[in-house]
Amino acid sequence: MNSFNMRYHEVLNEYLLNVRDKVQISFELFPPKNEISCENLLQLVDKLKLFNPIFFSVTCGAFLGKKDNTYNISKKVYQRTGIETVPHLTCINLKREELINVAHKYWENGFRHILALRGDVEDFNSKPNMYAVDLVKLLKSVANFNISVAAYPEIHPESFDAHSDLINLKKKIDVGANRAITQFFFNIDCFLRFRDLCVHNGITIDIIPGIFPIVNFRQLCNFVKTSNVTIPRWIFNMFDGLDDNIEMREILGASITMDIVKVLYKEGIRNFHFYTMNKFKIVASACHILGMASNVL
């Protein structure tokens, strides 16, 4: 490492000296596949809660054939931790009446915060009957939910361009969204440009960066096939030849995640949403450098 890079990392580390109590974090979980996985998830939650997250979110999932699995897991996580738990709700495969019933169920059972999403379509050429903006309006018509929505620093794959993508985000905010959580990214400049564009277009709600710790690089490559997320060439080079070296992959994944967090903190970001993939080590490493509950590790 040359002297410039050494000094750059020293500067980043200096920014982190007084981070404690200045950062907010949240964790995304996904529903387990079976009862054993469910117990593993709850044990993971026991560890993650020691980092004092402001909330857990639970993705939509159809595992075990349970239509309401997101609700059940969200309830278990909240009962286990006492920490606000945010169920994801998609509208792509549900009728309006069904969505209203789901919204009432969440509200009546104490859920006040929903992450409202359209959901993935199988065929980009087909026109969905509802979009996220419609879901936000529907939720607000049922009760005064606290609503998070998705944002895309590298543009949603179905958007015509960055401007139309921002207009769509603005529409969701205008009908009641309270914050946006971004799709994960590895090009930090893309996120920072997106944040600036949001401000320029009158979007003043919190834009929370979604952080994806790389645990399984091949899995990541599959994830990005249906998105506009760019994996920089240097990341491909770092993981080249490491398919069977789990320990080295974890070390590299932790290093990349921590560098992203450091740079974002230097750029004024104080709120981070971690896509945990139901894993602990790398997420814990990133939280540790942010000064969150250092006694956990």
- Taking the C-alpha atoms of residue 179 and residue 199, their distance in angstroms, rounded to an integer, is 13
For the question of residue 28 being annotated catalytic, the response is: yes
250 CB neighbour count, 10 Å cutoff:
18
Closest CA to 25 of 284, 281, 270, 276: 270
Q: Which amino acid is at 74?
A: S
Among 14, 28, 35, 84, the active-site one is 28
Q: Cα–Cα distances in Å, from 44 out to 20, 48, 53, 284?
A: 23, 6, 13, 11
Q: Cα–Cα distances in Å, from 249 out to 153, 238, 245, 256, 280?
A: 26, 9, 6, 11, 14
- What is the DSSP track for 199-265? HHTT--SEEEEEE---S-HHHHHHHGGGS-----HHHHHHHTT-TT-HHHHHHHHHHHHHHHHHHHH
Query: What number of H helices and E strands is found in the chain?
Result: 11, 8
- Write phi, then psi, for 9 (nearest 5 degrees): -70, -35
- Taking the C-alpha atoms of residue 132 and residue 177, their distance in angstroms, rounded to an integer, is 10
Closest CA to 262 of 211, 197, 194: 211
Q: Which residues are catalytic?
A: 28
